[in-house]
Amino acid sequence: MNYQENIGEYQTTRAGLRNRLRTSSVSDFKPSNLLNGLIAHLGLKNDAALARALEISPPQISKLRHLTLPVSAAILIRMHDVSGLSIRDLRLLMGDRRRRFGISD
């Protein structure tokens, strides 16, 4: 398979993922959906394998899943680097549908 075929396959996969995310019925913020989506996308078995892939500790994954640790920008960027998914796609996976960000009054 040459480079152009790889790019086409990647774009088709990304478009399919984005369409599934937009049509999903999940509308609330759930970082566990992000973790489950990453595990599936990377073909991993469990949270421990995801922690190794992201080079973070397993307790951090557990804290993300149980909402005791926020999904920080650093973690999102690390997920982007490892998975190749855009930050937008990662935010959609966890149910963050905001288009703009800012400090609320």
**pLDDT tens-digit readout, 39-76:** 999 999 999 999 999 999 999 999 999 989 999 989 99
Tell me the CATH number for domain 3-93: 1.10.260.40
pTM metric for this prediction: 0.68
CB under 8 A, 24+ apart: contacts of 14-21: 14/85, 14/86, 14/89, 17/41, 17/85, 17/89, 18/89, 18/92, 21/89, 21/92, 21/93
Q: What is the pLDDT of residues 69-99, one digit of tens each?
A: 999 989 999 999 999 999 989 988 888 777 6
